[in-house]
């Protein structure tokens, strides 16, 4: 089976993260720039899949899963917050998992989304829009986790859709709270 993470080549030095072949998503400015300096990173989340960081307060950038230890050391050495911010896209994509959820789990997920800035009516609109992509890729048979990276990897991606998805994924991000 094709591994979508194979195309992400990441190198981590003392003060920057580089993507020698360009970043995975061409819609990101990082694809051309190919590097992120430590002062452009406001948080790192090791609990998304793959691990991610917030770049310039407006974009979620994904790294390779096997570099978690290296990422954690990089964060510590550069005084970057490592957090477990609620993963909005994981909860938006839950209906597309090959998993049956109890009603209380579905309700809890909707409540958590509301607490993180996504109303029920907006959630329905997002799921309709994202659902087209997610249903086409049902053959993957994911049953544990589908997040923003999955959605972006599977959809017919253009710049406007990329930034639409980013704004949703960062709905619960607070710039002020991530400054040390």
pLDDT tens column, 60-85: 999 988 889 999 999 999 999 999 99
The pTM for the full model equals: 0.90
What residues are paired with 36 via a beta bridge? 17
Q: Are 43 and 99 in contact (CB under 8 A)?
A: no
pLDDT of residue 65: 82
179 Cβ partners below 8 Å, 6+ apart? 42
pLDDT of residue 179: 46
Q: How many residues does the chain have?
A: 180
pLDDT of residue 140: 60
Strand spans (E) along 41-171: 41-45, 52-55, 59-62, 81-83
pLDDT < 70 stretches in the chain: 1-7, 137-142, 176-180
Strands 41-45 and 81-83: parallel
pLDDT of residue 135: 79
Q: What is the CA radius of gyration of the chain?
A: 16
What residues are paired with 11 via a beta bridge? 18
DSSP symbols for 110-125? HHHHHHTT--HHHHHH
pLDDT of residue 3: 55
pLDDT of residue 158: 95
């Amino acid at each position: 089976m094709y591994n979508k993470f194979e195309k992400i080549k990441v190198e981590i030095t003392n003060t920057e993260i580089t993507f020698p072949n360009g970043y995975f998503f061409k819609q990101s400015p990082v694809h051309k720039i190919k590097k992120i300096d430590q002062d452009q990173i406001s948080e790192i989340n090791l609990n998304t899949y793959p691990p991610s960081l917030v770049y310039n307060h407006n974009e979620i950038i994904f790294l390779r899963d096997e570099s978690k230890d290296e990422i954690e050391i990089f964060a510590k050495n550069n005084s970057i917050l490592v957090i477990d911010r609620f993963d909005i896209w994981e909860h938006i994509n839950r209906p597309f998992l090959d998993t049956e959820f109890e009603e209380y789990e579905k309700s809890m997920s909707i409540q958590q989304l509301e607490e993180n800035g996504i109303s029920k009516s907006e959630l329905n609109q997002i799921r309709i829009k994202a659902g087209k992509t997610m249903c086409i890729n049902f053959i993957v048979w994911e049953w544990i986790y589908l997040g923003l990276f999955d959605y972006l990897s599977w959809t017919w991606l253009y710049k406007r859709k990329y930034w639409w998805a980013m704004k949703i994924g960062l709905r619960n991000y607070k710039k002020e709270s991530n400054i040390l």
